[in-house]
Amino acid sequence: MDKHLILASSSPRRSSYLRELGIRFLEIPSGVDERRLREETPYRYVKRLAIAKTLAVSKRHPEVPVVGADTIVVVDGQVLGKPRDPPEARRMLRTLSGRSHRVLSGMAMVGEATGFGERVDSGVSSTRVFFR
């Protein structure tokens, strides 16, 4: 493989970031079930998905470092998923309008680039966003 990294995602935004950084990569969606587990906190949920996506792709391509990520929006303790259709998207935007919410992004990496061999390096960032 002539790529230096695999992105375990089909996110256009994540691909764009890597291209802007000049990183050579291959995009391989993980196929991981993204349903939230019962009683799972938003923080644990987004971290679990990032790790699961990374490991699912890494098992198929152990010779290349793999990066996986997931991002969610949390408002009033509720996780907003991807809208199913335009009316649901409008409802979500109205819910967010005029107030703040949290955006949690989980990221994980496995492979030689982590310096940890097969160990997964992961983390979650939290950003408070005010949506006008």
Spatial CB neighbours of 117, under 8 Å, sequence gap ≥ 6: none
Please tell me whether residue 15 adopts helix, strand or coil conformation.
helix
Catalytic residues: 70
CA-to-CA separations, 107 to 41, 49, 95, in angstroms, rounded: 16, 9, 27
